[in-house]
Each structure stands twice: as structure tokens, then as C-alpha cells.
Amino acid sequence: MIWYPYAQMKTLEPPIKIASAKGVHLYTEDGRDLIDSVSSWWSVIHGYNNSVINDAIKEQLDKFAHVMLGGLTHDAVQKLSEKLASWLPGDLNYCFFSDSGSVAVEVALKKALQFNTNRGSERSVILALEHAYHGDTFKAMEVGDDEDYHFAFGSSNEKKRGVIHIPTEISALEKAFETYGDKLSCFIVEPLLQGAGGMRMYDVSFLERARQLCDENDVLLIFDEVATGFGRTGNRFVADLVLPDILVLGKALTGGYIGHAVTVANKRVWDGFLSDDPTHALMHGPTFMGNALACSAALRSIELFEKGNYLERIRRIEEITRRELAGFTSEKIEEIRIMGGCVCIEVKDEKYLEGFRRYAFEHGVFSRPFLKYMYAMVPYVIEEPELVKILDVMKSWFND
Ligand SMILES: Cc1ncc(COP(=O)(O)O)c(C=O)c1O
């Protein structure tokens, strides 16, 4: 029996069975062709069954699939970490790999907390955002602020003693630093776009001010770019605009091929762990960290991103989305938000989206709205007619 995610198994609607996939198309076992508007949880940026990434994995597979990084290393992980170090902004050069975004967030938080204990500092409070989502493991849930996902684990006060949540407003940010500045170890954010918390978008000026305040108060700034990284906001990384001390990447890192993630630290954080004292080491080591197939896929995925003029593609996706939704409105809609390769139609009440998933399916689109949010985060290889079709289906739901 498969236990499916985020689902009450007693009432689960049977999932759609996929037989094959190519580009932005999912082909079902019973012969339907669905355009994917979700990119398999926002990860499959180059589309499905991409021959270039397929070949990279096959080449690596003929050598070996995996060796552990405890005492061993290999070409694919070395090349990927070198590539990330040169490709990422600033001195974000120190790559710790893990098998999922949630674990990579755990590693980022561990780093920030231990960075302080290593230097004999008592800072143990974490600053985070309201409506944040950073994954489903326990510490990631604590810095998250989304009771819609994590309601089963007690009241927020009980479980989040060491975490302060603030809205994305500069006044709240300044007040938090005024109150807790000397107790904070780090400030963790999904920069510019908060995904699972409702596709909420905010301005870069908030991050610029956060950077200043973190510097003034000796607090580490962590960008969780598991969702926003690799172009989703229209920027390659939000870290290109404002430089964090620790950057977390996942999802699209491997082009959505294999679960893998990386927590990248700057030199200051790295130096905070260099010591003759063995207890200052980072004690973490997922079995599959630096998996060779994942690293090969990631390397080729980055190459595709670089050579394929992706930022231009994403700009075009945004332009088409804005054009198609210009002036569109319905009394059921609260707000329409668009940023880069993400569009969200927030409705006034969840009930207005009941049945939309089925409706989209019947109109040849795979969609997975949640709560009050109907959204699309398409693979960047999408062609204009396919994107227009997705947007038409979203609009027609309100008109039909
Ligand atoms: C911003 C952010 N951080 C972390 C995660 C967790 O990643 P994973 O599902 O790979 O554990 C997600 C997943 O949606 C995410 O959106």
C-alpha cells in the first residue's frame, strides 16, 4: 500500500497514473495527454525525459551509481561543487549535499546554531517569516509558519520556543532586531516568493534591509531557495540580488530528476567550523549525500540552464502570463500574483477551488491547487500555446 503525501488516505481521490512523460506533457496510462502546470512540485525545469540529462545519468551509471562521501569522493561531486562555487554569487563556495530540501534546511539551521556555539556565543533564537514553509522535518517545521501543513504537532507556542515569526514588513523586521538582535543566530527566509505558504510575493527592499540588520547585529542570513532558485522568480537566484551567508538549493538542482539538495555556506561560516577542536566539526552526513547520479544530473542541468538562455525564457513566460491575465477578474478572486515563472490566483474562499483539479484534468492540464491558491509553475521549456492553454483553463474555471 502506498501512503500518499498530504492526504487523508481514507478519502484519497485516486492519483492519476502516468505511463510516460516528455517535455511539458504527462501521458496517462489510459491515453490522456496532460500539460503539467506544476513541474512536479516545481522541480522539472527542463521538462520530462530530457535527452541531455538522461545521457548524463546513463554515462555516470556505467561507472557507478553511488559511493558514500564518508572517506570517499568522486568526480561528479567534485565537479558539481566547483561549478556551484564559481556559478553562485559572492563567496558562497562551500557545498554540503543532502538528499532533500528539508534536510538541507536542517543543515543550514544546524550550521547557524553551531557557528555560534563554536565561537562561545549564546545566540539560540531564530528569526523567520510568517507563512514560511521550509519543509516537513521537525526543525524545518519550527521555522515554518504554516499550520495548514503542520497542525498535528501541537500549538505554535509549545513547539516554537526558539523561533520568532514576523511579517514581510520592514517595520516588523526592524522591531525584531531591536528586541532580539543580540540573541539571534540567524534569519531564514524564502526570498521574494513564499511558495507553499500561499505564493506570497514581497519586495527586495525587505531583503536589502535584512542584510543590513544582519550585518549590524552579527546575525547570519539564510536564503532557502529550494523553490525560488534556478530562475523561478525571474532571477537566476535571489542571492544574485542580496547575498546571504547560507544558501539552500534543492528541487530544480537536478532538473527535478533525483532528490538532491545543497546547503552552500560562505567563507565566514566555513571558517567558523575550522578548528583543532574536533567538537567544532559539522556532525551531519546523509547516506546519499553527493550521490553520483544526482550530481551528474545537476551538472548537466546547470549547463542547460546556462546555454539555453533560461532567464529570457522565464521573462517570456512572465510576459505571456501578464498578457493573458491582464484585466482578468472574478468576484471569487482575492488577488492575482505573478512573478517570473510563478502565477497564483488566490480566491476568497477555498470552496471556490473545489473540483478545479478534476476540471483541469478534463481540459488536458495537470494542476494541483491547495487551500485558496490556484497556481502554475511551469517547466521553462514550455511553448507559448501550451502556456496559454494552462492559463485559459485557469480563467475558464471562473467563467464556466
Ligand atoms: C522553500 C522550501 N524549502 C524546503 C522545501 C522542502 O524540500 P523537500 O520537499 O525536498 O524536502 C520546500 C518544498 O516544497 C520548499 O518549498
Comparing CA positions, the residue from 120, 122, 127, 118 lying closest to residue 178 is: 127
Does ligand 1 come within 6 angstroms of the Cβ of 250?
yes
Cell of 305: 540552464
Domain locations along the chain: 18-50+310-399, 53-307
Which amino acid type is present at position 128? A
Tens-place pLDDT, residues 233-276:
999 999 999 999 999 999 999 999 999 999 999 999 999 999 99
pTM over 0.85: yes
Q: Closest residue (by CA) to atom 7 of ligand 1?
A: 101
Does ligand 1 come within 6 angstroms of the Cβ of 47?
no
- Torsion angle in degrees (nearest 10) through CA of 283, 288, 290, 293: 180
52, 45 contact by CB (below 8 A) = no
Q: How far is CA 300 from the centre of its chain?
A: 19
One DSSP character per residue, 42-90 reads HT-TT-BS-HHHHHHHHHHHTT-S---SSS---HHHHHHHHHHHHHSST
> Looking at the predicted structure, is the pLDDT value of residue 151 above 80?
no
The mean pLDDT of the chain is: 96
Q: Alpha-carbon distance 202 to 129, whole Å?
A: 12
3-state secondary structure of 198: coil
Tens-place pLDDT, residues 201-229:
999 999 999 999 999 999 999 999 999 99
One DSSP character per residue, 164-177 reads EEE-S-HHHHHHHH
Q: Closest residue (by CA) to atom 2 of ligand 1?
A: 134
Please pick, among 94, 224, 352, 375, the residue that the annotation labels catalytic.
224
Atom index in ligand 1 nearest the CA of residue 259 equals 10
Q: Alpha-carbon distance 2 to 54, whole Å?
A: 27
Q: What pLDDT, on the 0 to 100 scale, is given for residue 152?
A: 73
Does ligand 1 come within 6 angstroms of the Cβ of 196?
yes
Average the pLDDT over each of 97-101, 143-147, 391-395 and give the range with the smallest value.
143-147
Strands 333-339 and 342-347 come out as antiparallel
304, 136 contact by CB (below 8 A) = no
Q: Closest residue (by CA) to atom 3 of ligand 1?
A: 134
* CATH 3.40.640.10 describes domain 53-307: yes
Q: What pLDDT, on the 0 to 100 scale, is given for residue 158?
A: 54
pLDDT band at 161 (very low <50, low <70, confident <90, very high): confident
Decide which of 3.40.50.720, 3.10.350.10, 3.30.70.270, 3.90.1150.10 is the CATH code for 18-50+310-399: 3.90.1150.10
Please pick, among 6, 63, 75, 148, the residue that the annotation labels catalytic.
6
Indicate if 149 belongs to the active site.
no
Question: Residue 343 pairs with which residues in a beta bridge?
Answer: 338, 376
Mean pLDDT computed over 122-130: 95
Does ligand 1 come within 6 angstroms of the Cβ of 133?
yes
Which stretches within the chain are classed as H helix? Answer: 39-42, 51-61, 75-87, 101-118, 138-143, 147-150, 156-159, 170-180, 204-217, 267-271, 292-307, 310-325, 356-362, 384-399
CA 159 to ligand 1 center in whole angstroms: 20
> Looking at the predicted structure, is the pLDDT value of residue 389 above 70?
yes
Q: Is it true that 18-50+310-399 and 53-307 share their CATH fold?
A: no
* Phi/psi-derived region of residue 120, left when phi > 0, alpha when psi is between -120 and 50, beta in every other case: left
